[in-house]
Structure 1
Amino acid sequence: MNNIILIGLSGCGKTCLGNIISKDEEINFIDLDEYIEEKNNMTIKEMFNISEEYFRDRETEAVKQVSKLENTLIATGGGVIKRKENMDALGKSGCIIFIDRKPEKIIETLDISNRPLLKEGKDKIYDLHKERYKLYKKYAHITIDNNDSKEKVINIIKDIIKIKLHKR
């Protein structure tokens, strides 16, 4: 399988980068959270209101589905790494790239209105970083620092796409 999968904390730039790169490279793009919402006719927030477990089950179903695709750029939700089965499926389907952004940089730009895990406030991002960082590093094939130039990150991912998807 030849997918490119973006992982990282909520607000690290996965969806923004994915939208830009998919247009420039003419590659299919899926934002996993949007995909989950469409498939379930519910917002992420509504699913979390039922329970986080309810949402995570829907997320795992979606991961299984999108992992079967080919030549697709996939931006995951920040918590996808919480289930090993998700990461096993994604790892088999392509190259996992960890978009590493410092919590203080995320807080500068983050809109928390549609992010249920951040309902306690932006400072929750520090707790999530502490909880998840080792998992992002564990599952990533490649780590890219996204603390400075967005253009630099875009170009690195485009180069990876050219290599992994054999695009010229």
Structure 2
Amino acid sequence: MVKRINQQSIVLIGMPGCGKSTLGVLLAKALAKPFVDTDLLIQEQMGATLQDFLDVHGHMALRQQEERVVLISDLENKVVATGGSVVYSSAAMAKLKRCGVCVFLDVPPEELYRRVANFSSRGIASAPNTTLEMLYRERLPFYRQYGDYCLRVNGQTPKQMIEQLLELLSVNSPL
């Protein structure tokens, strides 16, 4: 990478429930960077929760909103937690990758089931009648394609995950 980690964004991608928002806040604190959660930006722009928007407009409209918000937002030199479906947009991913490095937080489906009890009401941009496991299999190739790094997440505490992530990114941990 041409830029140093401390001068670029760190973008977290992965399935709903993998810990992007939780880790993002902790990572931003550890690196003294601003934190951005694109799901919150989307909700702010739409004036509705993701689920309310989905109920009215459907999953493809939510994906379009996600792409639009990523493309218009200032995401330079920040820690960015993305929505899980951002990987469907090559334009959004191209922008995110220009901003910095993408880290795929890989959580096995059985762990996701424990973490995401509210799959049908969580505001997840998926086609009707799609299960969490089906969505994982559908998105996995995209996460692997766009992830510069992969952090396997399974049973670690958030602090352990931050330490692993900082080590993966070769940043000295101030924790």
Q: How does the TM-score come out when normalised to structure 1?
A: 0.85
Whether 1:86 and 2:92 are equivalent positions in the alignment is: yes
Q: CA deviation at 1:18?
A: 0.9
- Partner in structure 1 of residue 156 of structure 2: 149
- Partner in structure 2 of residue 128 of structure 1: 135
Whether 1:63 and 2:70 are equivalent positions in the alignment is: yes
Whether 1:162 and 2:171 are equivalent positions in the alignment is: yes
Aligned-partner SS, 2:171: helix
**CA offsets, 1:86-123, max 9 Å, x none?**
111111111000000001001112241423457979x8
**Equivalent in 2, 10, 14 of residue 16 of structure 2:** 10
Q: CA deviation at 1:19?
A: 1.7
Distance in 1 (alpha carbons) for counterparts of 2:101 and 2:58: 30
The 5 Å alignment of 1:2-81 reads 2-49=8-55, 50-66=57-73, 68-81=74-87
Aligned-partner SS, 1:27: coil
Q: CA deviation at 1:157?
A: 2.4
- Gap regions ≥5 residues in structure 1: none
**CA offsets, 1:135-168, max 9 Å, x none?**
10011100010013233321132342738xxx9x
Distance in 2 (alpha carbons) for counterparts of 1:14 and 1:2: 18
Distance in 1 (alpha carbons) for counterparts of 2:145 and 2:110: 22
Q: RMSD of the alignment, in Å? A: 2.4
Distance 1:116 1:9, change over 3 A: closer
- Gap regions ≥5 residues in structure 2: 1-6
Q: Which amino acid aligns with 1:104?
A: E
Distance in 2 (alpha carbons) for counterparts of 1:118 and 1:59: 13
